[in-house]
């Protein structure tokens, strides 16, 4: 999922940069000061998980945790993903600086989508709905991330079609693995600290 510098077209890079900047701006505007430690911990979890790569031909797969990232952070997943990817690029040369915007969108936008679609299920009073929502969030986030990455490559040039297909196929097992992990994490949080499932947004002032 880490696209390197010099791969994508100028148009794709600009579009990704604009979307990433917009999402990060909204995320920073929404974040509550008390929620910063939560965002920091999830950023660290994302940073560590996505460092472990398994090569598959010319590409590779790895855990992402963007499903649980989206569930817990909402819009604030954008600055979290941006920070994690920036550190990976600077410290370990994973991904690239010019592709940072596209890479951020490819991971943070799916996280936000599953927050909006599956978040209400995860926070439901019914356990079976919460577990279903957690599994769907994890699997859907990986699928969308793989699709967005594949589209970014295909829009750059048809020569990347084979790699795009490998990315989609390679991440199918990751969908199942992350679904199981996310169900376990959500189940644990619901038992020991259910309030952590709420996004770290600023509290609205009562009129």
- Cα-to-chain-centroid distance, residue 53: 16
pLDDT of residue 156: 81
pLDDT digits (tens, 9 = 90+) for 20-67: 999 999 999 999 988 899 999 999 988 888 776 665 555 556 778 899
Alpha helix (H) residue ranges in 99-126: 100-122
pTM of the shown model: 0.88
Output the six-digit token pair for 75. 């819009």
Question: Which pLDDT score, from 0 to 100, does residue 108 have?
Answer: 95
Where exactly are the structural domains of the chain? 10-197
CB neighbour class for 44 (10 Å; exposed up to 12, middle 13-18, buried from 19): middle
pLDDT per position as a tens digit, 179-189: 999 999 999 99
Of residues 196 and 160, more confidently modeled: 196
| Residue range 10-197, CATH number | 1.10.1760.20
Q: Which residue has the higher pLDDT, 198 or 155?
A: 198
Lookup: tokens for 189: 């949080």
Say what percent of the chain tops pLDDT 70. Answer: 92
| Tokens describing residue 201 | 């947004």
pLDDT per residue over 69-91, tens digit each?
Answer: 999 999 999 999 999 999 988 88
Per the prediction, the chain carries an average pLDDT of: 86
At residue 207, the pLDDT reads 39
Rounded to the nearest angstrom, the gap between the alpha carbon of residue 202 and the centroid of all alpha carbons in its chain is 21
Contacts of 9 (CB under 8 A, 6+ apart): 155, 156, 157
Q: Phi and psi of 122, rounded to 5°?
A: -60, -35
pLDDT at 54: 60
Residue 105, pLDDT > 50, answer: yes
| Range scoring the smallest mean pLDDT among 74-78, 124-128, 143-147, 200-204 | 200-204
The pLDDT assigned to 167 comes to: 74
């Amino acid at each position: 999922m880490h696209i390197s510098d010099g791969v994508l077209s100028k148009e794709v890079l600009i579009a990704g940069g604009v979307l990433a900047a917009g999402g990060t701006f909204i995320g920073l505007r929404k974040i509550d000061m008390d929620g910063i430690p939560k965002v920091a911990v999830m950023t660290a979890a994302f940073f560590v998980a996505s460092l472990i790569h398994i090569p598959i031909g010319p590409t590779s797969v790895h855990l992402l945790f963007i499903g649980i990232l989206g569930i817990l952070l909402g819009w604030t997943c954008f600055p979290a993903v941006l920070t994690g990817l920036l550190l990976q690029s600077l410290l370990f040369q994973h991904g690239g600086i010019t592709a940072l915007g596209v890479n951020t969108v490819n991971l943070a936008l799916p996280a936000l989508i599953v927050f909006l679609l599956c978040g209400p299920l995860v926070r439901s009073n019914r356990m079976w709905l919460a577990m279903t929502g957690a599994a769907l969030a994890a699997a859907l986030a990986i699928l969308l991330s793989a699709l967005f990455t594949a589209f970014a490559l295909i829009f750059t040039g048809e020569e990347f079609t084979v790699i795009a297909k490998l990315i989609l196929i390679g991440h199918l097992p990751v969908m199942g693995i992350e679904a199981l992990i996310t169900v376990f994490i959500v189940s644990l949080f619901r038992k020991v600290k259910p309030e952590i499932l709420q996004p770290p947004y600023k509290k609205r002032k009562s009129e």
